[in-house]
Structure 1
Amino acid sequence: MHPTSTRAAVLREFDAPLELTEVPLPKELPPGSAVVRITSTTLCGTDAHLWQGVMPFIALPIILGHEMAGEVVALGANSGRDAYGKPVEIGSRLVWSESVCGHCQGCNVLREPVLCEHRGYGFGQRADRWPYAIGGLSQYVYLPPGAHRIVIPGDVPDTWAAAAGCAVKTVVRAFANAGGVQPGSTVAVQGAGPLGLVATAMARAAGAGQVITLGGPANRLALAAKYGADTTIDVTEVTDPDERVAQVEELTGAHGADLVLDFAGAPTANREGVLMCGKRGTHVVVGLAGPRAAPVPMDVVMSREIRVVGSLNGDVGDLARALRFLSAFANRFEWDAMFSPPVGLSGAEQAIRDMASMAAVKAVVDPGLD
């Protein structure tokens, strides 16, 4: 018999304390579904933005946390295989992608689950409606049938696997959508949060000749240097966007970067990113610039033949590649340096505050610690 309720940290009001309370779990498990005990939830900048009310269109109450890993405690019928076809059993360690419907244009015609019209983001699920708990700030969560899952390899810690569920797979997809990294090329990474740090490492591992990381604060840029950045530019010190562009131009011998990836989402990021690109360069847009975004100079896009590419999160294929990347380069990059010591649900609110203030790079919640 699986649990029919779970303790969770619920967001009922923006920019307000989380409420530790009991939330129902589905009593009946549909085919393809599961119940998972959360062992690690890694917080994302989006969690902090949601808590702050930056996305006020999200309906409350919700359970934050969309990067999570856990252990299976119950399975619905026909739930016994992961995306590789490996057995999923009680006790299996799992990570999973957002649920998809399997019958829309994105799923079937484009064959891009990331573009599913009914994609089940955790922060789109109210905590007072069925199936109640799918967010990571909870002891147990419901795993919907359309959420493609992967059994976590034995050499991948739960924190890495959880982060792969959003941050790392998003970076993997961004590089794939860009067409990869040409050996010896120059890559500029906008943002020094978890995505920017992973992108810095990925650019270095892929054979970039020069990696430039722009962001802040200083402790994150120090980690970017450890992950392979040849040069870091602190945006809290170099506050003029045009000066940042000028520094990249100087670092590239006036040629500009071959690939610029926006993981910052700042209002001027896309304008800067295009101006940082050299001839036939590529600018990948991942961050949300918001309603006050600076205009992108389309004359520069045209005259330099720049490609501007959008990239949205990732699907189960990107998740699989993210896990392989973390494992393959475990001895080269200190992934654990990104993660704060885990706290229980009682510390979840402070963990989110630490993400909002950038005191933490990647805060970690283990609901079992309470």
Structure 2
Amino acid sequence: MSDVPKTSRAACVVTYKEPLELRDVPIPDDIEPGAILVKTEAASICGSDVHLWQGELGIASRIPLPIILGHEMMGRVVRMGPGVKTDTAGQPLQEGDRLVWTHASCGDCYMCTVTHQATLCPNRRMYMFTNCEKPPYLVGGFSEYCYVFPTSGRIKVPDGVSSELASAASCALRTVVHAFDRLGRIEDYETVVVQGAGPLGLYAAAMAIRAGAHQVVVIGAPANRLSVAETWGASHTINIEDIPNARERRGIVRDLTGRRGADIVIEVSGGASAFPEGIDLVRRGGRYLVVGQVGEHQVSIEPRYIVEKQISVIGVMSGDTNHYYKALQFIKNNRERFSFEDMLSNRYTLDQVNDAMESMRAFREVKAVLTMA
């Protein structure tokens, strides 16, 4: 058994909007059956981390602070509870293996067993949303060690996929993989518009390009994010800082699509105005895939446009174990086509976590990564 200290340094939200506190959090002495203790190698910072830190997510008022922030991370196995022999895909698992893991659905409720939609499990235990003063304590990614719940799916990271990219894939990309599963086939004559140029938007653009879309248009800002989309092969980009008027943006999309509008619009920006704009951008009979709307804001739309245009509106939440697996395979199998490292804009140590969070909040980063050397 690997030598493991008694405590793990972790970056905790104690009060919303205040700097994260570095605390020594207990490491459990006993690992329950089916659980795993990992030593974190990389934890990438998601926009949701920033929103939760600022108290902007709808769930924030119901979370008993303090919490360890972070929900996309990669670690090496240092201890395994009784009964752990393989990852969820059946691959043999041993100490030293690199791992990503899911939130913990219960496996027993209606959503888990009948509909097989584990991301909608009402009993789901979620990393960074769980109090860190109660066992098993290590329930967030911004920590030197993390506890993998017994019912969390766990997938070994394939050779050739860096720890940093595996971490980034364990949230944004697995969610996009889930979204594309729900979206269905993309035809080679279709135009896809992506609302948002953050990691979700960049991965969505990459998957739409890989699927063979005729055109992929990315709408967002700032310019450094759009340049990544262009490098990856986006047909067109629209910078909302240069073209702040939604009507003008719609005109550009209509000009690119024979005045029809986009066949598929993918909302991954989280912006309050994005949803009504997306309804406007999609063509008659088109599909609108909504991923980024997780805040409590309200928007005004006319539902008749959904009816009159016969739009399919598809919502997507998080991802399950199969999406984590597919996300890692997408990275592994498309490394030559997409320079995924371009998205990893900066590295920070755990001691620099507040600098990293401020840079993410100010959109100076595309994807910042904490390294736990």
Could you state the TM-score of these two structures normalised by the residue count of structure 2?
0.96
Quick one: which amino acid aligns to residue 103 of structure 2? E
Tell me the equivalent position of 2:53: 51
Matched-pair contact (CA < 8 Å) for 1:175–1:181 = no
SS of the residue corresponding to residue 21 of structure 1 reads strand
Matched-pair contact (CA < 8 Å) for 2:179–2:289 = yes
Tell me the equivalent position of 1:72: 77
**1:176 & 1:327 partners in 2: Cα distance?**
19
Matched-pair contact (CA < 8 Å) for 1:189–1:261 = yes
The reply on whether 1:303 has 2:308 as its aligned counterpart is yes
Q: 1:210 aligns with which of 198, 208, 215?
A: 215
Give the Å deviation of 1:287.
Answer: 1.1
**Mapping of 1:44-123 within 5 angstroms?**
44-55=46-57, 56-57=60-61, 58-123=63-128
Q: 1:359 aligns with which of 343, 361, 364?
A: 364
Quick one: which amino acid aligns to residue 193 of structure 1? G
Q: 1:198 aligns with which of 178, 194, 203?
A: 203
Quick one: which amino acid aligns to residue 24 of structure 2? E
Q: 1:250 aligns with which of 252, 255, 279?
A: 255
SS of the residue corresponding to residue 261 of structure 1 reads strand
Tell me the equivalent position of 1:262: 267
Deviation string, structure 1 residues 37-83 (Cα, Å, up to 9, x no partner) = 00011110001111122134133111111110010111100112101
Gaps of 5+ in 1: none
Question: 1:48/1:367 Cα in 2 relative to 1: closer, same or farther (>3 Å)?
Answer: same
Matched-pair contact (CA < 8 Å) for 2:193–2:264 = yes
The reply on whether 1:227 has 2:232 as its aligned counterpart is yes
**2:227 & 2:208 partners in 1: Cα distance?**
17
Give the Å deviation of 1:3.
Answer: 3.7
**2:294 & 2:176 partners in 1: Cα distance?**
17
Tell me the equivalent position of 1:41: 43
Quick one: which amino acid aligns to residue 135 of structure 1? G
Tell me the equivalent position of 2:350: 345
Give the Å deviation of 1:18.
Answer: 1.6
SS of the residue corresponding to residue 348 of structure 2 reads coil
Tell me the equivalent position of 1:24: 26
Tell me the equivalent position of 1:154: 159
Matched-pair contact (CA < 8 Å) for 1:72–1:89 = yes
**2:244 & 2:64 partners in 1: Cα distance?**
35
* Larger CA deviation: 150-159 vs 246-255: 246-255
**2:134 & 2:176 partners in 1: Cα distance?**
32
Deviation string, structure 1 residues 213-271 (Cα, Å, up to 9, x no partner) = 00000111111111221111111222222222222112212111111000011111111
Aligned CA RMSD, in angstroms, stands at 1.3
SS of the residue corresponding to residue 71 of structure 1 reads strand
**Mapping of 1:284-323 within 5 angstroms?**
284-288=289-293, 290-323=295-328
Give the Å deviation of 1:300.
Answer: 1.7
**2:183 & 2:158 partners in 1: Cα distance?**
28
Matched-pair contact (CA < 8 Å) for 2:72–2:168 = yes
Matched-pair contact (CA < 8 Å) for 1:274–1:297 = no
Matched-pair contact (CA < 8 Å) for 2:56–2:295 = no
Matched-pair contact (CA < 8 Å) for 1:217–1:236 = yes
Tell me the equivalent position of 1:13: 15
* Larger CA deviation: 238-247 vs 129-138: 238-247
Gaps of 5+ in 2: none
Give the Å deviation of 1:353.
Answer: 1.1
**1:291 & 1:66 partners in 2: Cα distance?**
20
SS of the residue corresponding to residue 122 of structure 1 reads coil
Give the Å deviation of 1:289.
Answer: 6.1
Could you state the TM-score of these two structures normalised by the residue count of structure 1?
0.96
**1:326 & 1:276 partners in 2: Cα distance?**
30
Quick one: which amino acid aligns to residue 199 of structure 1? A
**1:99 & 1:128 partners in 2: Cα distance?**
18
Identical counterparts, % of pairs: 39
Q: 2:186 aligns with which of 181, 185, 188?
A: 181
Quick one: which amino acid aligns to residue 53 of structure 1? G
SS of the residue corresponding to residue 124 of structure 1 reads coil
Tell me the equivalent position of 1:283: 288
**1:3 & 1:74 partners in 2: Cα distance?**
12
Q: 1:140 aligns with which of 134, 145, 161?
A: 145
**2:17 & 2:254 partners in 1: Cα distance?**
40
Give the Å deviation of 1:296.
Answer: 2.9
SS of the residue corresponding to residue 352 of structure 1 reads helix
SS of the residue corresponding to residue 143 of structure 2 reads coil
Quick one: which amino acid aligns to residue 205 of structure 1? R
